[in-house]
Each structure stands twice: as structure tokens, then as C-alpha cells.
């Protein structure tokens, strides 16, 4: 019963106070500089994970490429050389 009263009180408090909570000041600002900063930050934070994943992929690819280049290739036996020399 106490939990139900608490949830009802909390819900009523949220309904009453919703007029003071419109969102962040950046989303509803009319200033051009603020909107530009908001959009640029959104683009940066959207591209940052993709850049990190690409950086890790490139790092592992380059390490595998270096490892392949350092390994000596096995030459096949042509049959012309004598094995008894």
C-alpha cells in the first residue's frame, strides 16, 4: 500500500512539474551559434565510434600484414636440384 501511494505521489508530482521541464537549453535555443555547436557536437559524437572501430581494424590489419611479410615463403621443390649434394 505504501509503494502504491509513493508511485501515485511521484506520478502526480511529475505531472504538476512538467511545465518547468521542457528539455535542455541547447535543443530549444534560438541562437544560431548554439544550434551550430549542437549540430557539430552531434556529428562529432556520431562519427567518433566509427573512427575508433576503423582505427582498431586498420591497426590489426597492418600488424597481420607485417607478420605475413616477415615470414619466409616456402619455396616448392622444382626437381632440378640434387638432394644428395
Q: Round to whole Å and give the CA distance between 60 and 40.
A: 30
Tens of pLDDT along 36-71?
888 899 999 999 999 999 999 999 999 999 988 887
- pTM score, whole prediction: 0.47
- Select from 56, 46, 63 the least CA-distant residue to 38: 46
Q: Round to whole Å and give the CA distance between 10 and 27.
A: 26
Checking 27-36 for CB contacts under 8 A at 24+ apart, the result is none
Collapse the DSSP code of 16 into the 3-class scheme (helix H, G, I; strand E, B; otherwise coil) and give the result: helix
Domains of the chain by residue range: 2-67
Amino acid at each position: 500500500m505504501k509503494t502504491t501511494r509513493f508511485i501515485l505521489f511521484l506520478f502526480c508530482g511529475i505531472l504538476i512539474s512538467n511545465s518547468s521541464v521542457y528539455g535542455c537549453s541547447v535543443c530549444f535555443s534560438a541562437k544560431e551559434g548554439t544550434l551550430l555547436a549542437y549540430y557539430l557536437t552531434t556529428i562529432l559524437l556520431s562519427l567518433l565510434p566509427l573512427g575508433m572501430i576503423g582505427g582498431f581494424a586498420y591497426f590489426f590489419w597492418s600488424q597481420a600484414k607485417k607478420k605475413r611479410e616477415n615470414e619466409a615463403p616456402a619455396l616448392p621443390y622444382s626437381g632440378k636440384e640434387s638432394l644428395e649434394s
